[in-house]
Amino acid sequence: MTDIANMKMTPRHYYIVFVASLGQMIGTSVATLAGIIIPMLNIIQHPELSSFMQGLIGAADLIGIIFGSVIFGRLSDRYGYLFFFRFCPALILVASIAGILFPSVATLTICLFLIGMGIGGEYSLDSDYISELMPARYRSLMVGVAKAGCALGNILVAAICFGLLSYWESAELWPDLLWIVAITAALMILLRIRFYQSPKWLMDKGRVTDAEDAARKFFGPDASIACDSDAGSHDRPDTKISMGMRRYGSLRNRCVSSDSRDGTRTGTLFAWRESHIACNRFSKNHLVDQLHYPAWILNRSLSDQQKT
């Protein structure tokens, strides 16, 4: 039996990173999409949208991210990751289709807010799943890859919209751009059907048997999850996660820091979240942080890899 913290990287690990990374991609996709839809609305609106409404539409998903990170973050800590890992893309899907079926400025604003809430939940959960399921040696690198991969969302949506707008003859087709978000969310739901509860979360709740079963479902019959307690203490509420993993628990309860309690570096373990709810409450440098954190994470992660 091999502890999941000591496993080698397998195709299943890369699959988990890919599935979790889709939440990052869809987050930046929506931000890019909003910036494309606003001028299309100005073309067909008479009179044009006011500056306030343009700003409100552009900020709606970001406001939703703030609320979603807090609400779904707390709920998933209490009730488990899996349900909300599936619910968040479902919320994004429903809100996107609503925006397509009922096209108006008011509906778009509300739908973007709901989409943002789903994205906020994604930002909370993807780091949790990756950091808790990856081998210890690759955790920081894989979290960094997932977070830095959000740039793909911007690039892909910009390229798709460029192709569509080059073909379309009317700006009134703007609601159809939301199909990009809807299709991505549907793909996320399908990929998460055969996903399981986090073994680390289960272990933290004292459900050792369930945690061991989840580890085997993720990585095969030889996978296991270590426990600090002895064999006779299984399923006790005070059972603790091995190797000090509790301090690697929820990103929502941690700030990015260069020093951990036992002297090891954890600065890159829990990577940047675009909302920065826990660590950067409405900092004046928030925009600068969003632009530089992904590159900083990968830099630090690769440095850690070289040292190990």
Specify whether the CB–CB gap between 210 and 226 falls below 8 A: no
The rounded radius of gyration (Å) of the Cα atoms in the chain is 21
pLDDT at 306: 56
The CA distance from 187 to 208, in Å, is 32
pLDDT at 307: 56
pLDDT at 120: 92
Question: 19, 20, 18, 58: which is closest to 38 by C-alpha?
Answer: 58
Question: 237, 161, 199: which is closest to 16 by C-alpha?
Answer: 199
The CA distance from 213 to 297, in Å, is 32
CB atoms within 10 A of CB 45: 13
CB atoms within 10 A of CB 4: 23
Give ∠ CA 34-37-43 in degrees, rounded to 5: 150
Tens-of-pLDDT digits for all 308 residues of the chain? 777 888 888 898 999 999 988 988 888 889 889 999 988 888 887 677 888 888 899 899 999 999 999 999 889 988 989 999 999 999 999 999 999 999 889 999 999 999 999 999 998 888 888 888 888 888 888 888 888 778 888 889 899 998 888 888 888 888 999 999 999 999 999 999 989 998 888 888 888 888 888 888 888 887 778 764 333 333 333 333 333 333 333 433 333 333 333 433 333 333 333 333 333 333 333 334 444 444 444 555 555 555 55
